[in-house]
């Protein structure tokens, strides 16, 4: 789970060491993540799953296998959590699922109108970067 959220001196989450084991499991972890995203116990669990997906893509997991999780990922398109938005935008940026473009635009607009309170980083940077990658 998330051990520590971003703060004034660190703009990233710190996760428990067991996350590294889940990342090493690679593709075999996808059904677990899919089920977890359907019925999360907490925001921490969602953030951990999204972090693991991001890392697995960086480790070389076929992006199409992650893109296949879009129905589960899309449940979080309307979130106001800057942590979830950031990880979600990172995944969308890497997978370029066509259906995710509209939700990214909606996130950016929503955050511009009502900025997330007490955010220690700007989720719009990742969201905007994902949008630019879609347009490139």
What pLDDT shows up at residue 116? 80
pLDDT band at 124 (very low <50, low <70, confident <90, very high): very high
- Pair of tokens at residue 74: 């899309």
DSSP 14: E
Q: Is the pLDDT of residue 118 over 80?
A: no
Q: Is the pLDDT of residue 120 over 80?
A: no
pLDDT band at 98 (very low <50, low <70, confident <90, very high): very high
What pLDDT shows up at residue 10? 87
What pLDDT shows up at residue 6? 86
What Cα–Cα distance (Å) separates residue 12 from each residue in 15, 58, 101, 109, 122? 10, 17, 24, 23, 11
State the total domains in the chain.
Answer: 1
89: enclosing H helix or E strand: helix 82-95
Q: Mean pLDDT across the stretch 43-55?
A: 96
What pLDDT shows up at residue 97? 96
Domain extent, residue 30, equals 2-135
pLDDT in tens, 24-48: 999 999 999 999 999 999 999 999 9
């Amino acid at each position: 789970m998330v051990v520590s959220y971003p703060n004034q001196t660190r703009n990233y989450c710190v996760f428990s060491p067991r996350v590294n084991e889940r990342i090493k499991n690679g593709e075999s972890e996808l059904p677990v993540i899919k089920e977890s995203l359907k019925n999360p116990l907490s925001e921490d669990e969602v953030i951990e799953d999204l972090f693991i997906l991001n890392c697995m893509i960086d480790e070389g997991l076929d992006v199409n296998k992650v893109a296949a999780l879009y129905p589960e990922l899309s449940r979080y398109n309307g979130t106001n959590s800057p942590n979830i938005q950031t990880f979600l935008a990172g995944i969308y940026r890497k997978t370029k699922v066509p259906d995710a473009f509209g939700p990214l635009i909606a996130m950016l607009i929503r955050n511009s109108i009502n900025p997330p309170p007490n955010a220690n980083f700007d989720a719009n940077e990742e969201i905007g970067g994902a949008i630019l990658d879609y347009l490139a």
